[in-house]
Amino acid sequence: MYRINDNYQKLPGSYLFSTIAKKVSAFTAENPDKTVIRLGIGDVTQPLTGPVIDALHKAVDEMAAGETFHGYAPDLGYAFLREAIAENDFRMRGCGISADEIFVSDGAKCDSGNIQELFAVDSRIAVCDPVYPVYVDSNVMAGRTGSYDPASGRWSDVIYMPCTEGNGFVAELPSRRPDIIYLCFPNNPTGAAIKKEQLQKWVDYANKEGCVIIYDAAYEAYISEQDVPHSIYECEGAKACAIEIRSFSKNAGFTGLRLGYTVVPKELTSGGASLRDMWARRHGTKYNGAPYIVQRAGEACYTPEGKESIRSLVAYYMENARTIRDGLKEMGYTVYGGVNSPYIWLKTIDGMSSWEFFDYLLNQANVVGTPGSGFGPSGEGFFRLTAFGTHENSKAALERIAGI
Protein backbone atom coordinates (compact mmCIF):
# COMPACT_ATOMS: atom_id res chain seq x y z
CA MET A 1 0.00 0.00 0.00
CA TYR A 2 1.26 3.48 -0.77
CA ARG A 3 2.03 5.65 2.20
CA ILE A 4 0.87 9.15 2.87
CA ASN A 5 2.71 12.15 4.29
CA ASP A 6 2.00 11.35 7.93
CA ASN A 7 2.68 14.91 8.93
CA TYR A 8 -0.81 15.82 7.70
CA GLN A 9 -2.22 13.47 10.33
CA LYS A 10 -0.60 15.55 13.02
CA LEU A 11 -2.56 18.71 12.12
CA PRO A 12 -5.17 19.33 14.81
CA GLY A 13 -8.68 20.07 13.49
CA SER A 14 -9.27 21.98 10.28
CA TYR A 15 -7.86 25.30 9.13
CA LEU A 16 -9.05 28.03 11.53
CA PHE A 17 -11.19 29.90 9.01
CA SER A 18 -12.73 26.67 7.71
CA THR A 19 -13.74 25.75 11.26
CA ILE A 20 -15.37 29.15 11.70
CA ALA A 21 -17.16 28.91 8.35
CA LYS A 22 -18.58 25.50 9.36
CA LYS A 23 -19.81 26.83 12.70
CA VAL A 24 -21.45 29.82 11.03
CA SER A 25 -23.11 27.59 8.40
CA ALA A 26 -24.51 25.39 11.17
CA PHE A 27 -25.84 28.48 12.98
CA THR A 28 -27.50 29.92 9.88
CA ALA A 29 -29.04 26.55 9.02
CA GLU A 30 -30.59 26.40 12.50
CA ASN A 31 -31.56 30.08 12.49
CA PRO A 32 -32.70 30.91 8.95
CA ASP A 33 -34.44 34.09 10.19
CA LYS A 34 -31.24 35.64 11.61
CA THR A 35 -28.92 37.84 9.55
CA VAL A 36 -25.34 37.21 10.48
CA ILE A 37 -22.71 39.97 10.21
CA ARG A 38 -19.35 38.50 9.27
CA LEU A 39 -16.33 40.23 10.74
CA GLY A 40 -14.32 37.02 11.02
CA ILE A 41 -12.03 36.28 8.09
CA GLY A 42 -10.20 39.31 6.74
CA ASP A 43 -11.98 39.32 3.42
CA VAL A 44 -12.71 42.59 1.66
CA THR A 45 -16.23 43.78 0.80
CA GLN A 46 -15.69 46.78 -1.46
CA PRO A 47 -15.60 46.40 -5.25
CA LEU A 48 -12.40 46.65 -7.23
CA THR A 49 -11.50 50.26 -8.02
CA GLY A 50 -12.01 52.02 -11.36
CA PRO A 51 -8.37 51.93 -12.51
CA VAL A 52 -8.18 48.21 -11.76
CA ILE A 53 -11.43 47.44 -13.55
CA ASP A 54 -10.31 49.48 -16.59
CA ALA A 55 -7.01 47.61 -16.72
CA LEU A 56 -8.83 44.28 -16.47
CA HIS A 57 -11.20 45.16 -19.33
CA LYS A 58 -8.32 46.30 -21.50
CA ALA A 59 -6.33 43.16 -20.79
CA VAL A 60 -9.34 40.96 -21.53
CA ASP A 61 -9.68 42.68 -24.93
CA GLU A 62 -6.00 42.00 -25.58
CA MET A 63 -6.56 38.33 -24.86
CA ALA A 64 -9.30 38.31 -27.52
CA ALA A 65 -6.99 39.24 -30.41
CA GLY A 66 -4.23 37.12 -31.91
CA GLU A 67 -1.68 39.96 -32.01
CA THR A 68 -2.08 40.86 -28.33
CA PHE A 69 -2.93 37.47 -26.85
CA HIS A 70 -0.75 36.22 -23.96
CA GLY A 71 -0.05 32.61 -23.08
CA TYR A 72 2.17 31.49 -20.22
CA ALA A 73 3.53 34.36 -18.15
CA PRO A 74 7.30 34.67 -17.59
CA ASP A 75 8.45 32.59 -14.59
CA LEU A 76 8.98 35.53 -12.25
CA GLY A 77 6.03 37.58 -13.47
CA TYR A 78 5.74 40.22 -16.20
CA ALA A 79 8.51 42.84 -16.19
CA PHE A 80 5.93 45.67 -16.37
CA LEU A 81 4.59 44.64 -12.96
CA ARG A 82 7.90 43.75 -11.34
CA GLU A 83 9.38 47.10 -12.43
CA ALA A 84 6.37 48.98 -11.05
CA ILE A 85 6.69 47.12 -7.74
CA ALA A 86 10.44 47.71 -7.46
CA GLU A 87 10.03 51.40 -8.16
CA ASN A 88 6.95 52.17 -6.06
CA ASP A 89 7.09 49.76 -3.15
CA PHE A 90 10.84 49.82 -2.65
CA ARG A 91 12.98 52.41 -4.46
CA MET A 92 10.60 55.23 -3.52
CA ARG A 93 11.05 54.18 0.11
CA GLY A 94 14.82 54.12 -0.20
CA CYS A 95 15.07 50.32 -0.42
CA GLY A 96 17.35 49.08 -3.20
CA ILE A 97 15.29 46.14 -4.38
CA SER A 98 15.46 45.36 -8.10
CA ALA A 99 12.85 43.81 -10.35
CA ASP A 100 14.77 40.54 -10.64
CA GLU A 101 14.48 40.01 -6.89
CA ILE A 102 10.66 40.15 -7.10
CA PHE A 103 8.57 37.04 -7.75
CA VAL A 104 4.95 37.62 -8.68
CA SER A 105 2.48 35.02 -7.44
CA ASP A 106 -1.21 34.49 -6.89
CA GLY A 107 -1.09 35.61 -3.30
CA ALA A 108 0.73 35.98 -0.02
CA LYS A 109 -0.94 32.98 1.57
CA CYS A 110 0.56 30.54 -0.94
CA ASP A 111 3.97 32.19 -0.76
CA SER A 112 4.03 32.23 3.02
CA GLY A 113 3.07 28.54 3.02
CA ASN A 114 5.49 27.53 0.27
CA ILE A 115 8.58 29.50 1.24
CA GLN A 116 9.57 26.95 3.92
CA GLU A 117 10.49 24.53 1.12
CA LEU A 118 13.77 26.40 0.70
CA PHE A 119 15.00 25.32 4.11
CA ALA A 120 16.31 22.11 5.65
CA VAL A 121 13.69 19.89 7.26
CA ASP A 122 15.48 20.09 10.58
CA SER A 123 15.42 23.91 10.60
CA ARG A 124 14.01 25.36 13.78
CA ILE A 125 11.22 27.90 13.29
CA ALA A 126 10.26 30.72 15.62
CA VAL A 127 6.81 32.26 15.42
CA CYS A 128 4.96 35.00 17.23
CA ASP A 129 2.17 33.75 19.44
CA PRO A 130 -0.60 34.47 18.41
CA VAL A 131 0.26 33.91 14.76
CA TYR A 132 -1.31 33.64 11.29
CA PRO A 133 -1.85 29.84 11.20
CA VAL A 134 -0.34 29.30 7.74
CA TYR A 135 3.25 29.71 8.95
CA VAL A 136 2.92 26.94 11.52
CA ASP A 137 0.64 24.58 9.59
CA SER A 138 2.84 24.63 6.48
CA ASN A 139 5.82 23.67 8.64
CA VAL A 140 3.78 20.91 10.27
CA MET A 141 3.05 19.51 6.81
CA ALA A 142 6.78 19.61 6.06
CA GLY A 143 7.60 17.68 9.24
CA ARG A 144 9.47 20.46 10.97
CA THR A 145 7.48 21.01 14.15
CA GLY A 146 7.71 17.84 16.29
CA SER A 147 4.66 16.69 18.19
CA TYR A 148 1.56 18.61 19.20
CA ASP A 149 0.51 19.01 22.80
CA PRO A 150 -3.26 19.64 22.85
CA ALA A 151 -3.12 20.85 26.45
CA SER A 152 -0.77 23.74 25.71
CA GLY A 153 -1.69 24.12 22.03
CA ARG A 154 2.03 24.05 21.19
CA TRP A 155 4.37 22.06 18.97
CA SER A 156 7.43 20.59 20.66
CA ASP A 157 9.95 21.86 18.09
CA VAL A 158 8.58 25.36 17.50
CA ILE A 159 9.94 28.37 19.34
CA TYR A 160 6.97 30.51 20.40
CA MET A 161 7.49 34.19 21.00
CA PRO A 162 4.56 35.45 23.07
CA CYS A 163 2.98 38.73 22.02
CA THR A 164 1.12 40.07 24.98
CA GLU A 165 -0.30 43.26 26.40
CA GLY A 166 2.93 43.45 28.41
CA ASN A 167 5.17 43.75 25.36
CA GLY A 168 2.70 45.73 23.26
CA PHE A 169 2.19 42.61 21.09
CA VAL A 170 5.71 42.91 19.69
CA ALA A 171 7.70 39.80 20.53
CA GLU A 172 11.03 39.91 22.28
CA LEU A 173 14.04 38.29 20.64
CA PRO A 174 13.92 34.52 21.21
CA SER A 175 15.96 33.06 24.06
CA ARG A 176 16.96 30.06 21.89
CA ARG A 177 18.40 30.53 18.41
CA PRO A 178 15.96 29.67 15.60
CA ASP A 179 16.91 29.17 11.96
CA ILE A 180 13.77 30.73 10.50
CA ILE A 181 11.89 33.61 12.12
CA TYR A 182 8.39 34.51 10.94
CA LEU A 183 7.35 38.10 11.53
CA CYS A 184 4.19 39.83 10.34
CA PHE A 185 3.80 43.60 10.67
CA PRO A 186 1.35 45.28 10.84
CA ASN A 187 0.39 42.17 12.66
CA ASN A 188 -2.30 39.68 11.92
CA PRO A 189 -4.08 39.05 14.26
CA THR A 190 -3.23 41.62 16.96
CA GLY A 191 -3.09 44.70 14.71
CA ALA A 192 0.18 45.75 16.37
CA ALA A 193 2.81 47.66 14.41
CA ILE A 194 6.58 47.60 14.85
CA LYS A 195 8.75 50.72 14.98
CA LYS A 196 11.77 50.90 12.73
CA GLU A 197 14.28 50.75 15.58
CA GLN A 198 12.54 47.64 16.97
CA LEU A 199 12.63 45.93 13.59
CA GLN A 200 16.29 46.87 13.16
CA LYS A 201 17.02 44.83 16.31
CA TRP A 202 15.50 41.76 14.65
CA VAL A 203 17.54 42.31 11.51
CA ASP A 204 20.74 42.72 13.53
CA TYR A 205 19.91 39.60 15.52
CA ALA A 206 19.22 37.56 12.37
CA ASN A 207 22.48 38.67 10.76
CA LYS A 208 24.48 37.98 13.91
CA GLU A 209 22.94 34.56 14.59
CA GLY A 210 22.64 33.40 10.98
CA CYS A 211 18.83 33.28 10.87
CA VAL A 212 16.49 34.10 8.02
CA ILE A 213 13.44 36.31 8.61
CA ILE A 214 10.26 35.66 6.65
CA TYR A 215 8.60 39.08 6.82
CA ASP A 216 4.91 39.20 5.97
CA ALA A 217 4.00 42.79 5.11
CA ALA A 218 0.56 42.07 3.66
CA TYR A 219 -1.00 44.89 5.69
CA GLU A 220 1.59 47.63 5.07
CA ALA A 221 -0.92 49.89 3.27
CA TYR A 222 -2.73 50.34 6.59
CA ILE A 223 0.23 51.97 8.32
CA SER A 224 -0.77 55.45 9.47
CA GLU A 225 2.06 56.33 11.85
CA GLN A 226 5.34 57.89 10.74
CA ASP A 227 8.01 55.76 12.40
CA VAL A 228 6.54 52.43 11.29
CA PRO A 229 8.46 50.79 8.42
CA HIS A 230 6.52 49.68 5.34
CA SER A 231 9.21 47.20 4.35
CA ILE A 232 11.85 45.30 6.29
CA TYR A 233 14.35 46.52 3.69
CA GLU A 234 14.10 49.97 5.28
CA CYS A 235 16.37 48.41 7.93
CA GLU A 236 20.09 48.25 7.35
CA GLY A 237 21.36 44.77 6.52
CA ALA A 238 17.91 43.31 5.84
CA LYS A 239 18.76 42.23 2.31
CA ALA A 240 21.26 39.77 3.76
CA CYS A 241 18.75 38.07 6.07
CA ALA A 242 15.14 38.70 5.03
CA ILE A 243 12.50 37.58 2.58
CA GLU A 244 9.45 39.83 2.32
CA ILE A 245 5.96 38.76 1.28
CA ARG A 246 3.35 41.20 -0.01
CA SER A 247 -0.24 41.01 -1.12
CA PHE A 248 -2.67 42.95 -3.32
CA SER A 249 -5.59 41.49 -1.37
CA LYS A 250 -5.86 43.86 1.53
CA ASN A 251 -4.79 47.13 -0.07
CA ALA A 252 -6.42 46.82 -3.50
CA GLY A 253 -9.14 44.29 -2.65
CA PHE A 254 -7.77 41.42 -4.77
CA THR A 255 -8.90 38.59 -2.46
CA GLY A 256 -11.03 37.20 -5.29
CA LEU A 257 -8.62 38.16 -8.07
CA ARG A 258 -5.43 36.77 -6.48
CA LEU A 259 -2.10 38.56 -6.72
CA GLY A 260 0.90 38.87 -4.45
CA TYR A 261 4.66 38.78 -4.58
CA THR A 262 7.73 37.72 -2.67
CA VAL A 263 11.06 39.51 -2.54
CA VAL A 264 14.13 37.30 -2.28
CA PRO A 265 17.21 39.54 -2.41
CA LYS A 266 20.35 38.38 -4.22
CA GLU A 267 22.38 39.02 -1.08
CA LEU A 268 20.50 36.24 0.70
CA THR A 269 22.79 33.23 0.57
CA SER A 270 23.49 30.19 2.71
CA GLY A 271 26.58 28.02 2.25
CA GLY A 272 27.18 29.73 -1.09
CA ALA A 273 23.66 28.94 -2.37
CA SER A 274 21.48 31.84 -3.54
CA LEU A 275 17.99 31.68 -2.10
CA ARG A 276 16.85 33.93 -4.92
CA ASP A 277 18.03 31.36 -7.47
CA MET A 278 16.41 28.54 -5.50
CA TRP A 279 13.08 30.37 -5.40
CA ALA A 280 13.41 31.12 -9.13
CA ARG A 281 14.00 27.40 -9.72
CA ARG A 282 10.94 26.56 -7.68
CA HIS A 283 8.79 29.06 -9.54
CA GLY A 284 9.99 27.65 -12.86
CA THR A 285 9.20 24.09 -11.84
CA LYS A 286 6.02 24.38 -9.84
CA TYR A 287 4.24 27.50 -10.98
CA ASN A 288 2.96 29.06 -14.17
CA GLY A 289 2.32 32.53 -12.88
CA ALA A 290 -0.58 34.80 -12.08
CA PRO A 291 -2.81 35.45 -15.11
CA TYR A 292 -1.80 38.22 -17.52
CA ILE A 293 -5.02 40.14 -16.93
CA VAL A 294 -4.49 40.06 -13.16
CA GLN A 295 -0.90 41.24 -13.48
CA ARG A 296 -2.14 44.15 -15.64
CA ALA A 297 -4.65 44.92 -12.87
CA GLY A 298 -1.77 44.88 -10.39
CA GLU A 299 0.21 47.28 -12.57
CA ALA A 300 -2.77 49.68 -12.53
CA CYS A 301 -2.43 49.97 -8.75
CA TYR A 302 0.80 51.90 -9.26
CA THR A 303 -0.52 54.62 -11.58
CA PRO A 304 -1.37 57.95 -9.90
CA GLU A 305 -5.12 57.14 -10.22
CA GLY A 306 -4.50 53.62 -8.98
CA LYS A 307 -2.60 54.84 -5.94
CA GLU A 308 -5.33 57.35 -5.15
CA SER A 309 -8.02 54.69 -5.44
CA ILE A 310 -6.12 52.44 -3.05
CA ARG A 311 -5.77 55.27 -0.55
CA SER A 312 -9.57 55.71 -0.65
CA LEU A 313 -10.16 52.00 -0.21
CA VAL A 314 -7.82 51.83 2.77
CA ALA A 315 -9.44 54.97 4.24
CA TYR A 316 -12.85 53.32 3.88
CA TYR A 317 -11.80 50.29 5.89
CA MET A 318 -9.91 52.38 8.42
CA GLU A 319 -13.10 54.30 9.13
CA ASN A 320 -14.62 50.95 10.07
CA ALA A 321 -11.61 50.26 12.26
CA ARG A 322 -12.25 53.54 14.07
CA THR A 323 -15.97 52.82 14.41
CA ILE A 324 -15.32 49.40 15.91
CA ARG A 325 -12.41 50.45 18.10
CA ASP A 326 -14.09 53.56 19.52
CA GLY A 327 -17.47 51.86 19.88
CA LEU A 328 -16.03 48.94 21.83
CA LYS A 329 -13.99 51.25 24.03
CA GLU A 330 -17.13 53.21 24.88
CA MET A 331 -18.75 49.94 25.93
CA GLY A 332 -15.84 49.32 28.28
CA TYR A 333 -13.92 46.78 26.25
CA THR A 334 -10.12 46.71 26.25
CA VAL A 335 -9.18 47.16 22.63
CA TYR A 336 -5.93 47.09 20.62
CA GLY A 337 -5.02 47.47 16.96
CA GLY A 338 -7.05 49.31 14.34
CA VAL A 339 -4.55 52.18 14.02
CA ASN A 340 -1.96 50.79 11.60
CA SER A 341 -4.02 47.75 10.75
CA PRO A 342 -7.51 46.66 9.73
CA TYR A 343 -7.71 44.27 12.70
CA ILE A 344 -9.16 45.06 16.10
CA TRP A 345 -7.92 42.86 18.91
CA LEU A 346 -10.14 42.95 21.97
CA LYS A 347 -10.15 41.26 25.32
CA THR A 348 -13.09 39.01 26.03
CA ILE A 349 -15.30 39.90 28.96
CA ASP A 350 -16.42 38.10 32.11
CA GLY A 351 -13.51 35.65 31.94
CA MET A 352 -14.86 34.05 28.77
CA SER A 353 -12.47 31.97 26.67
CA SER A 354 -12.01 33.08 23.07
CA TRP A 355 -14.33 30.35 21.75
CA GLU A 356 -16.94 31.05 24.45
CA PHE A 357 -16.90 34.68 23.36
CA PHE A 358 -17.24 33.56 19.73
CA ASP A 359 -20.40 31.62 20.63
CA TYR A 360 -21.65 34.49 22.79
CA LEU A 361 -21.35 37.06 19.98
CA LEU A 362 -22.74 34.67 17.37
CA ASN A 363 -25.75 33.67 19.48
CA GLN A 364 -26.52 36.99 21.16
CA ALA A 365 -25.59 39.49 18.44
CA ASN A 366 -25.32 37.29 15.33
CA VAL A 367 -21.86 38.76 14.78
CA VAL A 368 -18.96 36.58 13.66
CA GLY A 369 -15.40 37.26 14.71
CA THR A 370 -12.29 35.14 15.13
CA PRO A 371 -11.31 33.61 18.47
CA GLY A 372 -7.85 34.73 19.53
CA SER A 373 -6.88 31.25 20.71
CA GLY A 374 -7.28 30.03 17.12
CA PHE A 375 -4.08 31.96 16.39
CA GLY A 376 -2.12 30.40 19.25
CA PRO A 377 -2.19 29.90 23.00
CA SER A 378 -1.26 33.51 23.83
CA GLY A 379 -4.38 34.59 21.92
CA GLU A 380 -6.59 32.96 24.56
CA GLY A 381 -8.93 35.50 26.14
CA PHE A 382 -8.75 37.70 23.03
CA PHE A 383 -10.93 38.08 19.97
CA ARG A 384 -10.34 39.57 16.51
CA LEU A 385 -12.78 41.69 14.51
CA THR A 386 -11.95 42.86 11.01
CA ALA A 387 -12.55 46.28 9.56
CA PHE A 388 -13.15 44.79 6.10
CA GLY A 389 -16.94 44.90 6.38
CA THR A 390 -19.14 47.62 4.96
CA HIS A 391 -19.74 50.83 6.94
CA GLU A 392 -23.32 49.72 7.48
CA ASN A 393 -22.40 46.30 8.81
CA SER A 394 -19.61 47.60 11.01
CA LYS A 395 -21.99 50.09 12.63
CA ALA A 396 -24.78 47.53 12.88
CA ALA A 397 -22.41 45.00 14.50
CA LEU A 398 -21.47 47.56 17.13
CA GLU A 399 -25.11 48.38 17.84
CA ARG A 400 -25.90 44.71 18.20
CA ILE A 401 -22.99 44.13 20.58
CA ALA A 402 -24.02 47.19 22.62
CA GLY A 403 -27.56 45.84 22.76
CA ILE A 404 -26.66 42.46 24.26
Residues that bind ligand MLT (CB under 6 A): 41-43, 109, 132, 188
Least distance from C-beta 216 to ligand MLT, angstroms?
10
Spatial distance between the Cα atoms of 254 and 221, rounded to a whole number of angstroms:
14
- Least Cβ distance, residue 203 to ligand MLT (angstroms): 25
- Distance in Å, CB of 391 to ligand MLT, minimum: 19
339 or 385, CB closer to ligand MLT? 385
The distance in angstroms from the start CA to the end CA of the chain is 56
CA dist 360 and 350 (Å) reads 11
Q: How far is the CB of 41 from ligand MLT (least distance, A)?
A: 4
Report whether 200 contacts 235 (CB < 8 A): yes
Q: What are the angstrom distances between the C-alpha of 121 and each of 139, 155, 272, 357, 389?
A: 9, 15, 19, 38, 40
Nearer to ligand MLT, 21 or 280 (CB): 21
SS3 233: helix
Q: Give the separation between CA 186 and CA 170, rounded to whole angstroms.
A: 10
Task: Choose between 145 and 249: whose C-beta lies nearer to ligand MLT.
Answer: 249
| Shortest distance in whole angstroms from residue 127 CB to ligand MLT | 14
CB closer to ligand MLT, 109 vs 239:
109
The residue among 41 and 173 lying less far from ligand MLT, judged by its C-beta, is 41
For residues 126 and 134, which CB has a smaller minimum distance to ligand MLT in the complex? 134
Helix (H, G, I), strand (E, B) or coil at 33: coil
Whole-angstrom Cα distance, residue 102 to residue 276?
9
User: Among 134, 18, 42, which Cα is nearest to 343's?
Assistant: 42
- Give me the residue whose beta carbon is nearest to ligand MLT: 42
Q: How far is the CB of 374 from ligand MLT (least distance, A)?
A: 10
- Report the residue number, 20 or 211, with the smaller CB distance to ligand MLT: 20
In whole angstroms, the minimum distance from the beta carbon of 375 to ligand MLT comes to: 8
CA distance 364 to 357: 10
Amino acid residing at 162: P
For the chain, the maximum distance between any two Cα atoms, rounded to a whole number of angstroms, is: 66
